Structure 1
Amino acid sequence: MIGDDQTVRSIFGAPSGPPTPGGPDGRRSPSSRSGEATAHLGELLQRSSRGDEGAFAELYDATSARVHGLAVRVVRDPAQAEEVTQEAYLETWRTASRFDPARGSAISWLMTIVHRKAVDRVRAAEASSRRDETYHHRNRPVEHDSTAEAAHSSMEAHRVRTALASLTTVQREAVTLAYLGGYTHTEVAGLLQLPVGTAKTRIRDGLIRLRDAMGVGQ
């Protein structure tokens, strides 16, 4: 077990509370502040890739609530979600150099790591449960239909990954958060710092393009 929310803080010396927004100018537009926040998260990731523990601590404080929220949505267990959160941040620290701001936002990159870790945890738990339930059938030959079904599922997963790769970066971000992360349109807009209408448009256009790429009929 990796531990509770203090684990990453103790490793990287994160401050005890969320960072205080800089600058006294309250007259900046929401879009300006959102753009600055997005750019700042990307800068923190890039500094983290160079071993800047203070930048990583600030990144953790700025994003941990959203990261943990996604983990809870997927694994449905608070204790498991805490472990997934810590695993995701540890991987983020190790692989921050792979972040490319030209391919998407920092929060989308981070959420992708969290979602993958959470899904891996769910799959591992399901696999363990299946092993327990079917232990007495372990030497039984695999039915042909089961093999065919597994092959079909693998092919479908490959088709989805290929289709996702055909989307634009902004469409892929929105679709991933909405349909892999389980977020509502409003929540996706908040995560990507976009107007709700823009988020809905990106999700809709991404789904249309995804459907066309997969050859799904009207």
Structure 2
Amino acid sequence: MNRTGGESAALLAEMCSGSAEAFEQFYERYMPLVYQVAMRVVGDRMEAEDVCHDVFLEVLRKGSGYDARRGSIESWLAVMTRSRCLDRLRRQKRTTLLQESDTAVFRAGGEPGPEELVLDRMQREALVHALGHLPLRQRQAIVSQYYGNETQSTMSAALNVPLGTVKSWVRYGIHNIRKQFDKLGWMQETGIRKEEDK
């Protein structure tokens, strides 16, 4: 592994151990690469930006599983990015088929306008950064529950910790995300608040 690769692997390890500074450095270093790969596949700037946010959420969740023996971080990120792009294109294809078969329903429901799309993208980017500033356990619990579709009971069993501990990680994690959003001036964050308040 070359010097740059070693530094990046160390950054990734620190990030997965809960370092917000390492996350920021990793994000700044690899955001251009991820964006370039995404643009080549989806061919749309807004879609590519959304893919970037999805990829870095996945890095936060699965970064500890990176194995340098199987390839460079650049290759790992490129494969991950391409996979997320293809997932997005498949979803769009299904949506197009639904629109063609049930146009009236979609007209009645309405489609988001440019302002809503921009707002959603900004919120997702802010959420990625907020997650990067959480303590490790809180971040893992939040990402696993809301983006990995894992239940708190499943996490409790997998980590061999009391269910109440997992609940605390999620609760404090959401509280800290809200604090990050408040600092950025957001009055309402993404659907995490709605889910947690139920």
TM-score, normalization by structure 1: 0.44
The normalised TM-score by structure 2 is 0.49
Decide which structure has greater helix share: 2
Q: Of the two structures, which has the highest relative contact order with CA contacts closer than 8 Å and spacing of 6 or more?
A: 2
Larger radius of gyration: 1
